[in-house]
Amino acid sequence: MNKERKLFRNIAFVVLGVIILLLMVATIVEKMYGTTIAQDNIYTSPLMIALWAVLAITSLVYLVMRGVHRRVVVMMLHLSFVLILCGALITHIWGEQGKLHLRQGELPVSQFEPTDGGAKEFPFSVSLIDFSLEYYPGTFAPMDYISNIEITDTQGHKQQGRVSMNKIFSYQNYRFYQSGYDTDKKGTILLVAHDPYGIAVTYAGYLLLLLSMIAFFFVRATAWRSLLSHKLLRRAATAFALFILSTATLTAAPKVLSPEVAEEFGNLCVYYNDRVCPMQTLAKDFTVKLYGKSSYNGYTPEQVLTGWFFFYDDWKQEPMIKIKGSEVKELLGVEGKYARLSDFVSVEGYKLDVALQNQDARVNRANIDAANEKFNLVSMLVTGSLIKIYPYNSGSNDPVVWYSMTDNLPSDMPNDQWLFIRRSLSYVAEQVAINDDVAVVELLHKIAQYQEKVAGDAHPSKVRLQAEKLYNTTSYARPLAMVFLTIGFLSFFFCCRAMVQRKSLHRIVVVALNVIMIAVFIYLSVHIAMRGYISRHVPLSNGYETMMFMAWCSMLFALIVQRKYAMALPMGYILSGFTLLVAMMGEATPRITNLMPVLQSPLLSIHVVVIMISYSLLAFTMLNGLTAIVLRITAKKTTDEVEYLQLISRILLYPAIFLLAIGIFIGAVWANVSWGRYWGWDPKEVWALITMLIYSLLLHTASLKWLQRPMVFHVFTVLAFLSVLITYFGVNFILGGMHSYA
């Protein structure tokens, strides 16, 4: 019996390892050769289906042989995954998906186009009543796509339905999803899915998984509850970090508006990035885009923006355009990190022209395109086309349109309004030229009054504008990252020394660490809340926002568990510092944008929150592993400490892995509601699954005896975290896919 049990155990874990390896390879194949080849030859190939089947069968047999079937909750947990696999198999074999194109006023359609081509008949016919777009107030950014359809069955009975983003319409087990529309807004494209049994079985598996995971934490006879009662849990432990500095470049002073007048300019509303926001936001993004920082030479973003606009001859000689790549620097003839706008042009013309036309794959186009984009951005500003500060309300149901002074204005626009748009900024420039600040401010107030009067409801409230201005001026993630990493390094050093000496940190030090973290936690909470208020959606839509939330989760976790886990506090500093730093790596002040319609589902927000909490916990286990390795290298008698760190990691792994699994399947439900399929083999989906499978091995130490050894366990947690890094960063920056927001 023991031999048979060992055989099934070995088969199950070997097959699991093979599946993990194949999934990794498939993401690379997809990147190199395309999604279709990866799906047909790996993801949904007969070999992969067979491997999943072998894994499910051998795992169940092994569990029964071990007597796990008597532990109801643990058995339910494993059965839920089998049920999910069965649902996926049913969907793969019998599920149907396709596309349906409807035109308003045309005859009903009785067939759709399957994904593999051809035509498939409906047991009814479908026609389009009308299609409409809803926009965010005062913008042309789509908020929702809505198709009103009518279905007629074989007996002539009619039923109307409404299809929009994140709102499906079902009829006779056929589900219709909004996908696209015709440019004339008289036609719509719907996705069609027919999978009554696969989805039902899969959702049953999701529900069983959720219930069994919740029950797992309340049942006494589980490994997690036994870990909580372990005697080592009363001991103390430690953590670590890093230190980074940034430098600034000083240049001669160009002409600028006074800070007060520039601030008045920043108070104006502007149509930017598909939404209406304070000019201050545009100024900050403009400065960051050109210079890499939100201020230049001590000047505010508003001074930089207005400096370029009103004092172009001065500013074109300012070395503030950040250039990357030696090839671009050579083309422009600059040696340092920054170029002048005048460096882009010579007597022969625009210096980047030839490089932009060069299609040679060996040429680094990214750096050339980035430099060209900055030049064009300045050109848009100095010509006025970037400054869309003039709303126009045609009186129809169309959104309010915002124009710049150089845009083509509607022919039916009233003459006085036309003159105001064309000439008001020119009047401002005249007063700037003669240094009449009072007149400048007065004219800016008139423009602001015009905005409020014409824009109406499309004009943001004063509270929302003030909130965004406050947000723009209180973003300190980069310096906070430096401070937290420095504190993390120092606390790690002193904690390690205290651990070796069998002592604890001085109470004053612990209190100081708590006070600093609580203060920053409150600041970050307000910062995230303000961003959500400004953007009008849960701020979890891009890399910056998810990293900020992960830092928030890390601080909260550290503050909650520090009493029983002394190492949590310094680790909270380290993890928060790293995530804050990563949040600022892409761009110091990322744009706050309206969400795409498909991203407005509350399921997406829950999915991201759950996943990021899971990643935070997994990061703590990784830091535990690194700490154990450092202790083992630097001190000999640290067996108890290393075992204690293993105990803490094992306790954290259960909620971390369970949350990861729940997050994956909440994402699947959202995808099913929004896209018509709950799993699409996108690289991020696959790597999240790989991460869950890799970490699941750490929950099976009773079967995998080698993982019971503390140092092996710690090394595994460190290496396993690479899968998290690939899932979050590797997919975003290398593999791509629908989930990439690099």
Convert the pLDDT of each residue in 223-281 to its tens digit: 766 666 565 554 433 333 222 223 333 345 789 999 999 999 999 999 988 789 999 99
Q: What is the pLDDT of residue 669?
A: 85
Tell me, yes or no, whether 373 and 328 share the same domain: yes
Asked if residue 334 has pLDDT above 60, the reply is: yes
* Amino acid (one-letter) located at 489: F
Rounded-to-integer distance, Cα 554 and Cα 574, Å:
9
Q: Per the domain annotation, does 236 fall within a domain?
A: no
Residue ending a domain, choose from 573, 595, 617: 595
287 closest CA partner among 279, 278, 295: 295
Angle (deg, nearest 10), helices 46-65 and 72-94 = 160
Asked if residue 160 has pLDDT above 70, the reply is: yes
Lowest mean pLDDT among 40-54, 233-247, 494-508, 646-660: 233-247
- Tens digits of residue pLDDT in 367-382: 787 888 888 888 888 8
Asked if residue 541 has pLDDT above 60, the reply is: yes
Q: Per the domain annotation, does 689 fall within a domain?
A: yes
Confidence class of residue 51 from pLDDT cuts 50, 70 and 90? Answer: very high
CB 577 within 8 A of CB 733: no
> Could you tell me the pTM of the whole model?
0.61
Angle (deg, nearest 10), helices 259-267 and 301-310 = 90
In a 3-state reduction of DSSP, which class is residue 616? Answer: helix
Lowest mean pLDDT among 5-19, 248-262, 344-358, 593-607: 593-607
689 closest CA partner among 650, 731, 741: 731
DSSP 459: S
- The three-state DSSP-derived secondary structure of 491-557 is HHHHHHHHHHCCCCCCHHHHHHHHHHHHHHHHHHHHHHHHHHHHHCCCCCCCHHHHHHHHHHHHHHH
State the Cα torsion 413-417-422-427 to the nearest 10°: 180
534 closest CA partner among 275, 282, 293: 275
Confidence class of residue 586 from pLDDT cuts 50, 70 and 90? Answer: very low
CB 108 within 8 A of CB 125: yes
Tell me, yes or no, whether 210 and 328 share the same domain: no
Rounded-to-integer distance, Cα 67 and Cα 64, Å:
5
The structure tokens listed for 472 are 């723009």
State the Cα torsion 72-76-77-80 to the nearest 10°: 180
Q: Per the domain annotation, does 620 fall within a domain?
A: yes
Q: What is the pLDDT of residue 728?
A: 72
Lowest mean pLDDT among 90-104, 187-201, 342-356, 586-600: 586-600
The structure tokens listed for 417 are 């309004």
CB 124 within 8 A of CB 169: no
Tell me, yes or no, whether 740 and 648 share the same domain: yes
CB 390 within 8 A of CB 405: yes
629 closest CA partner among 712, 555, 568: 712
Confidence class of residue 675 from pLDDT cuts 50, 70 and 90? Answer: low
Mean pLDDT score, 575-587: 70
Angle at 330 between CA 328 and CA 336, to 5 degrees: 85
How does 636-666 read in b/e, with b if 16+ C-beta sit within 10 Å?
eebeebbbbbbbbbbbbbbbbbbbbbbbbbb
In a 3-state reduction of DSSP, which class is residue 122? Answer: strand
Rg from Cα positions in the chain: 30
CB 666 within 8 A of CB 674: no
Strand 338-339 and strand 349-350: the pairing is unpaired
Mean pLDDT score, 120-144: 78
Tell me, yes or no, whether 629 and 552 share the same domain: no
What's the number of CA atoms in the CB half-sphere (13 Å) around residue 700? Answer: 19
Tell me, yes or no, whether 601 and 590 share the same domain: no
Tell me, yes or no, whether 591 and 626 share the same domain: no
Backbone phi and psi for residue 519, each to the nearest 5 degrees, phi listed first: -60, -45
Highest mean pLDDT among 233-242, 377-386, 392-401, 558-567: 377-386
Rounded-to-integer distance, Cα 319 and Cα 498, Å:
50
Percent of all residues in the chain with a pLDDT value above 90, rounded to a whole number: 30
Rounded-to-integer distance, Cα 43 and Cα 58, Å:
21
Q: Per the domain annotation, does 240 fall within a domain?
A: no
Residue 277: alpha-carbon gap to chain centroid: 22
Better-scored residue on pLDDT, 129 or 729: 129
Asked if residue 546 has pLDDT above 80, the reply is: no
Tell me, yes or no, whether 553 and 684 share the same domain: no
What residues contact residue 519 under an 8 Å CB cut-off, 6+ apart?
A: none
Q: Per the domain annotation, does 384 fall within a domain?
A: yes
Neighbours of 630 (CB within 10 A): 16
Rounded-to-integer distance, Cα 264 and Cα 716, Å:
57
Confidence class of residue 152 from pLDDT cuts 50, 70 and 90? Answer: very high
State the Cα torsion 526-528-534-539 to the nearest 10°: -160
In a 3-state reduction of DSSP, which class is residue 635? Answer: coil
Rounded-to-integer distance, Cα 26 and Cα 37, Å:
9
The structure tokens listed for 40 are 């047909």
State the chain's mean pLDDT as an integer.
Answer: 82
Backbone phi and psi for residue 313, each to the nearest 5 degrees, phi listed first: -60, -35
Lowest mean pLDDT among 205-219, 587-601, 705-719: 587-601
Lowest mean pLDDT among 14-23, 41-50, 327-336: 327-336
Rounded-to-integer distance, Cα 191 and Cα 99, Å:
5
Q: Per the domain annotation, does 423 fall within a domain?
A: yes
Q: What is the pLDDT of residue 733?
A: 59
Q: What is the pLDDT of residue 573?
A: 85
Asked if residue 560 has pLDDT above 70, the reply is: yes
State the Cα torsion 172-173-179-181 to the nearest 10°: -10
State how many domains the chain has. Answer: 6
Q: What is the pLDDT of residue 250?
A: 37
What residues contact residue 70 under an 8 Å CB cut-off, 6+ apart?
A: none
The structure tokens listed for 415 are 């003459």
CA distances from 90 to 60, 97, 276, 429, 678 (A): 20, 13, 48, 69, 13
Residue ending a domain, choose from 133, 165, 192: 192
- Tens digits of residue pLDDT in 23-39: 999 988 888 887 788 88
CB 381 within 8 A of CB 286: yes
Tell me, yes or no, whether 538 and 448 share the same domain: no
Tell me, yes or no, whether 219 and 315 share the same domain: no
Q: Per the domain annotation, does 254 fall within a domain?
A: no
Tell me, yes or no, whether 279 and 182 share the same domain: no
Q: What is the pLDDT of residue 196?
A: 85
Lowest mean pLDDT among 115-129, 223-237, 349-363: 223-237
β-sheet bridge partners, residue 147:
131, 163
Neighbours of 78 (CB within 10 A): 18
Tell me, yes or no, whether 349 and 494 share the same domain: no
In a 3-state reduction of DSSP, which class is residue 294? Answer: coil
Rounded-to-integer distance, Cα 263 and Cα 257, Å:
9
621 closest CA partner among 516, 683, 697: 697
Domain span at residue 207? 71-80+87-95+195-228
Residue ending a domain, choose from 595, 612, 629: 595
The structure tokens listed for 274 are 């598909």
Angle at 466 between CA 461 and CA 471, to 5 degrees: 130
Confidence class of residue 677 from pLDDT cuts 50, 70 and 90? Answer: confident
CB 177 within 8 A of CB 675: yes
Rounded-to-integer distance, Cα 540 and Cα 528, Å:
9
DSSP 356: H
CA distances from 446 to 310, 424, 428, 441 (A): 19, 9, 11, 9
Rounded-to-integer distance, Cα 629 and Cα 644, Å:
13
Residue 737: alpha-carbon gap to chain centroid: 13
Mean pLDDT score, 602-616: 75
In a 3-state reduction of DSSP, which class is residue 639? Answer: helix
Q: Per the domain annotation, does 136 fall within a domain?
A: yes
Q: What is the pLDDT of residue 360?
A: 46
126 closest CA partner among 106, 140, 141: 106
Rounded-to-integer distance, Cα 224 and Cα 694, Å:
19
CB 619 within 8 A of CB 516: no
Q: Look-up: residue for tokens 């790690």?
A: 492
Rounded-to-integer distance, Cα 398 and Cα 407, Å:
18
Tell me, yes or no, whether 612 and 740 share the same domain: yes
**E strand residue ranges, 104-215:** 109-114, 120-135, 142-153, 158-164, 169-171, 174-181, 187-194
